[in-house]
Structure formats: C-alpha cells, structure tokens
Amino acid sequence: MTAFALGAVLSAIPVTAMTRRMRRKLLLICTIVGFAIVNLVTALSANLYLSLAIRFAARLFGGVVWSTLAGYTVRMSPRHLSGRAIAFRLIS
C-alpha cells in the first residue's frame, strides 16, 4: 500500500502535465491497458521487491486515469450539474 501511495504523491501532477497534449481517448485507453498489465504482473509475482516496484508503477497509471476521468465526468453530465458530477466522482 505504501508503494502505491508514494507513486500517487510523486506522479499525480507531473505525469498529468506531461500527457496533457495527448489525445484524451488514446491516453485513457493506454493507461487502462497499462494498469491492467501491471496488476496482472503483481498478481503473478512471487518476489516482494518486484511487487513493490510494480505497485509503484500501477499508481502512475492510476493517477493518470483519475485525472483523465475528471474531464470525462464534466462532459458526460449536464452543464448545470458538472460540479456535482465531479464531487460525486471524488467521493466514490
């Protein structure tokens, strides 16, 4: 859990800033696929250090997914409810 949280702290803003020029749909698909791959490697890993490194990488993908979803949340909800949609996404 600590490696996962550390990855979130270190990556949330820089990785999102580095990917801001990419097409959102492609970025979301790539990050979801990457997230699935690192979770599969974690599930199959028998080495603690490899699992910690992979969990760190998983959070890099997870941070990008969550930052990308905010934009989709606003676009999917009615204009007058976009604030509520983001608040609901953050709570759940």
pLDDT of residue 3: 62
CA distance readout (Å), 22 to 16, 18, 26, 59, 64: 10, 9, 8, 19, 12
Give the Cα separation of 51 and 45 in Å (integer): 6
Q: Answer yes or no: are the C-beta atoms of 85 and 77 closer than 8 Å.
A: yes
Q: Out of 4-8, 49-53, 71-75, which region has the weakest mean confidence (pLDDT)?
A: 4-8
Sketch the domain layout of the chain as residue ranges: 23-91
pLDDT of residue 2: 65
Q: What is the band of 1 on the pLDDT scale with cuts at 50, 70, 90?
A: low
pLDDT of residue 44: 93
pLDDT tens digits, 11-69: 777 877 888 888 888 988 988 899 899 999 999 999 989 988 888 888 888 778 877 77
* pTM for this entry: 0.67
